[in-house]
Amino acid sequence: MDSSLSDSFNPPPPYHLLFTSLSLIPLSHFLSAFLLLFLLFLYHFFEIHFLHDFLRAFRGDRVSITASDPDFYQSVVSKCRILHGRFSSTPWLCSPHLQTIFLSIVGRSPPVSYKRQLFRVPDGGTIALDWLRSSDVECDGFGVNVSTSDYEKTPTVIVIPGLTSDSSASYIKHLAFRIAKRGWNVVVSNHRGLGGISLTSERVYNAAWTEDIRRVVDHLHSQHPEAPLFVVGTSIGANVLVKYLGEEGANVPISGAAAVCSPWDLLICDRFINRRLVQSFYNKALANGLQDFALLHQSNLSRLTEWESIKKSRSVRDFDNYATRVLANFETVDAYYRHATSSNYVGNVGVPLLCISALDDPLCTKEAIPWDECRANRNVVLATTPHGGHLAFYEGIAANTLWWARAVDEFLGVLHSSPYIGMIKKKQKTTTLTPSFSIDQGPYVSVLEDGMVTAVGDEQTDDTMQEQDAPNQETANVTTNDEVILDSVEADEHVTKNEQPERYEVKDPNPTQATTFVRKCTHCLARRSSKSFWLLAYIAIVTTWPMVRPALSLLFKKRSRNPAPGGPRIR
């Protein structure tokens, strides 16, 4: 009897009870629960914000604006209604990945027809300039011809595409179509080797190369000096634009600019796209595009030798390691990324600049946005949105418009019609170039015996100078009937240098070490300005007069007490 009681008080194992209870649940409930968990995983994996938009009644989120100059804000930024409004993404594209993928696959761009010019630069490269004017735009079957009274004063907007993109990209067409409807001229400056143009030199574009946009801007300004110039950069093109503006400061013939979805810091963005799983798909897609570009121009890239490694590249960093850094003459990939980082140049931008970035950008992370640098520069206004993806910002039910294209178009229009642009032009005219000396350009300095300091390690041999000055004799292999224009800036600079009069210097027949040092110092001061030399002498006299005056008075007193010998003595 004791054994039967002990058996009745021993419960079954807990796992047995658990499996027994689970077996009683219908299979359809398990499938429903698994589907719900899978949907939650996709919701967070693709960063979908449908519930967030639904709770806000699809009104969108306000745009965050960072601007430090009250005059710039009051004259221009405060009048931009789009920047002070809300951005509401397309409800069925409520994810940065859906926005970005839809832009690259579908696009829904308006119909545009470009007119091409081939621009030859002195190093032998060819840049395709695709023009779009108001007369070339059709809207709803009717031609839009909103032109200004003076064609020579019609504003021109230069557009710099992103990585492996050209004028045929959907977002470029959206922007060009909207600006052309305003009555302005739009020219897309395609990167070398893109836009259906073969490479005619071994120089390939990269995120740190600003010489091409510098040549294009100078050429267009020389052709139409009275026409206001604006520049819009997108993605890598935005990085190149900001770097170019920072290098030139206020000495640029540009009235305003806009940088959309700039990576800002390539080193941080490289870590970002290699850190997360979903970004690996973008990384692979960009690497494939770069591989196709390199293989298309393989015959013109003789400096590249590791083609097998280039073909096996699985990320942008791999391609930059085997191709980009080699063509750009960098020792390491990180050195190239640090040199190409545009956030280091934001503080020196001297023209009105609008920067637009999405905080959920799947390629250009928000960690790289230079908040403090943008806030410290009075010429920069930073507009950020919580959503938008990379260069997408689709809005409306039909997803036919891009929010950032409307914002840039409005900003440039308000800037052009505001009196603030006149203030910028006055600053550009009054700004003088800072003379550059060899000591500022050399990586090391050397102190000579006479006390002078010179730069070393930056000399150029005669052969190198001849290679730089000599024009490229190779003929570009471009088989097209498009208009070909040449860059004449270098030739004009060469003529100007040759027209400078010779300078002669009178040398001391018996120089000493002391006189040599003094002459070099005075010559350096006189070379700067004669006014600065006399000003320095005046300052020296004024500062030393309190000490010279007592000494002179004491000297004259001694001479009065000790008269010359033979003179009368007073007793």
Could you tell me the CATH number of the domain that includes residue 179? 3.40.50.1820
Q: Rounded mean pLDDT of 196-201? A: 92
E strand map for 323-364: 353-358
Residues with a catalytic annotation lie at 235, 361, 390
CA distance 387 to 73: 24
Q: Rounded mean pLDDT of 63-81? A: 95
Tell me which residue of 156, 79, 60, 62 sits closest to 354, measured CA to CA.
79
Single-letter amino acid, residue 552:
L
Same domain, 289 and 144: no
Of 76-80, 382-386, 567-571, least confident by mean pLDDT is 567-571
Q: Does the residue 526 lie in any domain?
A: no
CA distance 10 to 16: 13
E strand map for 14-114: 61-62, 64-67, 86-87
Q: Does the residue 501 lie in any domain?
A: no
Burial profile 510-535: b = 16 or more Cβ within 10 angstroms, e = fewer: eeeeeeeeeeeeeeebeeeeeeeeee
Residue 255 has pLDDT above 50, yes or no: yes
3-class SS of residue 548 = helix
Q: Rounded mean pLDDT of 268-286? A: 93
Same domain, 93 and 164: yes
Domain total in the chain: 2
- Per-residue confidence (pLDDT) for residue 202, from 0 to 100: 85
Residue 161 has pLDDT above 80, yes or no: yes
Handedness of CA 6, 9, 14, 20 (dihedral sign): positive
Burial profile 424-435: b = 16 or more Cβ within 10 angstroms, e = fewer: beeebeeeeeee
E strand map for 364-437: 380-385, 394-395, 401-402
Single-letter amino acid, residue 280:
S
- Determine the structural domain holding residue 297 and report its residue range: 266-340
- Per-residue confidence (pLDDT) for residue 431, from 0 to 100: 52
Residue 351 has pLDDT above 90, yes or no: yes
Same domain, 350 and 330: no
Q: Does the residue 476 lie in any domain?
A: no
Other CB atoms within a 10 A radius of the CB of residue 219 amount to 18
Same domain, 233 and 275: no
Of 325-339, 383-397, 437-451, least confident by mean pLDDT is 437-451
Tell me which residue of 221, 135, 228 sits closest to 182, measured CA to CA.
135
CA distance 568 to 392: 105
> In whole angstroms, how large is the CA radius of gyration of the chain?
34
Same domain, 153 and 132: yes
Same domain, 65 and 181: yes
- Per-residue confidence (pLDDT) for residue 74, from 0 to 100: 94
Residue 372 has pLDDT above 90, yes or no: yes
Six-digit token string for 185: 């001229």
Contact predicate 194/171, CB 8 Å: no
Same domain, 91 and 151: yes
Residue 418 has pLDDT above 70, yes or no: yes
Q: Does the residue 432 lie in any domain?
A: no
More confident residue, 502 or 493: 493
Residues 6+ apart with CB under 8 A from 397: 90, 91
Residue 406 has pLDDT above 60, yes or no: yes
Between the CA of residue 239 and those of 244, 337, 389, what are the distances in Å?
Answer: 9, 11, 17
Residue 6 has pLDDT above 60, yes or no: no
Tell me which residue of 259, 257, 260 sits closest to 229, measured CA to CA.
257
Enter the pTM of the model: 0.74
Q: Rounded mean pLDDT of 477-489? A: 57
CA distance 223 to 84: 36
Checking DSSP bridges between strand 185-189 and strand 126-132, what pairing results, if any?
antiparallel
- Per-residue confidence (pLDDT) for residue 441, from 0 to 100: 36
- Per-residue confidence (pLDDT) for residue 135, from 0 to 100: 83
Six-digit token string for 405: 């294209």
3-class SS of residue 66 = strand
Single-letter amino acid, residue 474:
E
Q: Does the residue 20 lie in any domain?
A: no
Domain stops at, among 376, 397, 425: 425
Single-letter amino acid, residue 316:
V
Burial class from Cβ neighbours inside 10 Å (0-12, 13-18, 19+) for residue 382 reads buried
Same domain, 195 and 329: no
Same domain, 252 and 275: no
Backbone angles phi, psi at 108, to 5 degrees: 55, 55
Domain stops at, among 323, 340, 357: 340
Tell me which residue of 82, 550, 114, 29 sits closest to 356, measured CA to CA.
82
Percent of the chain predicted with pLDDT > 90 = 62
- Per-residue confidence (pLDDT) for residue 514, from 0 to 100: 45
Residue 141 has pLDDT above 50, yes or no: no
Residues 6+ apart with CB under 8 A from 20: none
Output helix, strand, coil percentages for the chain, rounded to the nearest 5.
Answer: 50, 15, 40
Give 448's pLDDT tier (boundaries 50, 70, 90): very low
- Average pLDDT of the chain is 80
Q: Rounded mean pLDDT of 388-411? A: 96
Domain stops at, among 376, 391, 425: 425
